[in-house]
Structure 1
């Protein structure tokens, strides 16, 4: 018979192994997600778009989370978490393959279909791996585990723009608006078609890699986790409609999904519009500016891994993140678009190319945003029991904030300028601040609070 200390060691080893597998999946999600930050200005050039039109990239990508979240939860109830992960990888591979005909035709609508398909597979993955990482260990350290996963996710976000810039953005200056307008229509279309063709090889490689990892996960030793149950209830065999109506009784979940909606919107704005804003300011390295935001997020996740829960509670981390977001948003809107003092002070000693202060404040929002996602998930899922899988689907649906809020930003930018449009992020951070201070403690509609919060 095994000793208790041996059992504890085996349990810890199982958690570590599971986190390594899931960390690989988070890296893949980050790689595909943060490719959009470079893809937006790229497709703006290829397809001749304005800001609003270019940000339909984020709409097509993130709206899949709303459309496919509940179907994904239904799939997981039948397949379990592990098979759901493999199915998600397969759908992602199919979406990557769709980029090939889109690139060959340079038709924007085909790019949007490919992005929607890719994100549909990611929705299934997200619906599986987020509750999985919450449930494999103690709830009070869930934000720490999600922070570790965030290092994989945002680490990919640092690498992706650099890879994309080296493969896709070589001699990009020759494709500037001024250069293209100087050409006759036939020559302009030919140049844009040649630029679009650069997407074929990398997305073909991505599809092959996704299918290979799908097989790897399918045959791996990654353990599955049974659905959570409440005392005296049967584990999930209920109709999805009954489960959906059940989760809406939890204010901490519903309000948490609203906070996540606002958060994903501002996260995508900070990561995916920084290239557009840098291009407008004639920043030389605009194609890699998403890496600046992602590096700040990686630093934020490292802080979370070290500090939570030892020095900082999940609720306090969320509170501080919201306050930092408000202050940095003011910096983006009011900071200099010429001076480079902030980046010189923070990263100049690293030899990193300097950027205007307002651009650097936008990148620093990555630091403020880093702890929001890992803090909201455990707070919102607290006490859901057998509703955890469906609650996860509701939270995944909130990722649609990344579809809608960047479109609002793009419209405001076209009307009144890119920098003034960033003011729209203030109410988003205010909502997150309220959820951190009060909303997460509500346990019944009408005001009852969690006495332990």
Structure 2
């Protein structure tokens, strides 16, 4: 294990990476309405932004584990940053040709690098220091992640959406030739920011490559019971399999209030000048939830109790968003961010316990389930398209998600065998 001094140095480097995760991931909330305008997309089409980003986790989770086994954590992080830079660089030709397929390709490549980077960085946070202080380190990373997300909304939201309402009005009055000219100019707003992001990612790759970031070895997780020694497959752990499904549902619960809230607000007639701030507000709510979780879990409440409470809260807020209108409905969506911040850590902790030699593959399956963050927003956007006069119907997409999370918090995490008599 590295010394305490190298611990602080390593955690500083990893905190920078988590800042990058947040900035790149949560900017989707701005990109979705931006692309909807400049590429003339439906709600469903625009939410392929989220899908292209999160499907990369599903594709790359297990390959990333094998890559890291060969390269080690440090080189894996460098490779992840370079791949991310390639993805953000694709935004430049995509903008000059105003081609949605190229933008989605860039997002997928960026997500691929991000998946590799997260596969390396997440366990590194746990391994780099004492196990009893893991929650504290995770909390620091969460704050860095969400703070970056807030900054991405403030910076890129201002660049991409500040004049969005006037652009929409101009396009509505223009003929086909004028409309194309307006949108061709508007889409170029993405060029300079993503050129800067590409350069920063490459500089970070160099920084990590030449850093004194220590390589650490994972200690094998011991088997804790004779019953576990009889297991021959990771799928013989029901609480893990159900946990993967729970994390799949949680992806929708976390991403929809962030990435979809601007489209949701726009569907209710709220100007983009006002709506562009709502993603930022949701991230503030998540930041509050993240800080709260590091304080109260497990000192005051257990992981399963926390998951139970936030699942009930999520159900109440989902029905609240469905049954109200305007800013009140949006307020319920924003409030969901607080509880959503607790989902990842609580489900992960319940799902990977006592897996022994299956811990790594179990973690990879859990990471693959993040694809829910891409699929459920598509359903949400489709519901808005189907019910344009009543966009609140889309909030019902979250009800089965939170219902399953409640089941997992009450019963699912306790199921250790598929058959009661095993």
Structure-to-structure mapping, 1:64-143, within 5 angstroms = 64-137=56-129, 142-143=134-135
Partners of 2:132 and 2:251 lie apart in 1 by 23
C-alpha spacing 1:317/1:224, structure 2 compared with 1 (3 Å): farther
Change over 3 Å in CA distance of 1:69–1:211 after alignment to 2: same
Q: In the alignment, which of 210, 213, 216 is matched to residue 219 of structure 1?
A: 210
2: CA distance between counterparts of 1:296 and 1:250? 34
Question: What TM-score do you get using the length of structure 2 for normalisation?
Answer: 0.91
- Indicate whether 1:269 and 2:240 are aligned: no
1:40 aligns with: 32
The one-character-per-residue Cα deviations of 1:144-201 (angstroms, maximum 9, x if unpaired) are 432332111111111111101222223222211x431211111101111101111111
Per the normalisation by structure 1, the TM-score is: 0.85
Distance 2:198 2:393 in 1: 39
What RMSD over aligned residues (CA atoms) do the two structures have, in Å?
A: 2.1
Distance 2:323 2:421 in 1: 40
- Between the aligned partners of 1:136 and 1:31, the Cα distance in structure 2 is 24
Corresponding residue to 1:282 among 267, 270, 277: 270
Query: Whole-Å Cα distance in 1 between the matches of residues 240 and 131 of structure 2?
Result: 16
Task: For residue 416 of structure 2, give the secondary structure of its aligned residue in structure 1.
Answer: strand
Q: Is the deviation greater in 186-195 or in 318-327? A: 318-327
Shift in Å, 1:14: 4.8
- Paired residue secondary structure (2:270): coil
Distance 1:203 1:173, change over 3 A: same
Is the partner of 1:414 in helix, strand or coil?
A: helix
- 1:311 Cα deviation (Å)? 1.9
1:362 aligns with 2:333: yes
Partner of 1:393: 364
Q: CA deviation at 1:139?
A: 5.2
Aligned to 1:322: 311
How far apart, in 2, do the equivalents of 1:53 and 1:279 lie?
Answer: 15
Residue correspondences, number: 410
Q: Is the CA contact 1:52–1:407 (under 8 Å) kept in the aligned structure 2?
A: yes
Structure 1's consecutive aligned runs of 4 or more residues displaced over 6 angstroms after TM superposition are none
Q: Report how far residue 65 of structure 1 moved.
A: 0.9
Over residues 300-336 of structure 1, what are the superposed CA-to-partner deviations in whole Å (9 max), with x where a residue is unaligned? 1111122223222222222222111111111111123
Residue by residue over 1:202-247, the C-alpha shift from the partner in whole angstroms, topping out at 9 and shown as x without a partner, is 1010011011111212222222232442559xxxxxxxxxxxx843
In structure 2, distance between residues paired with 1:187 and 1:441 = 62
The match for 1:432 is 405
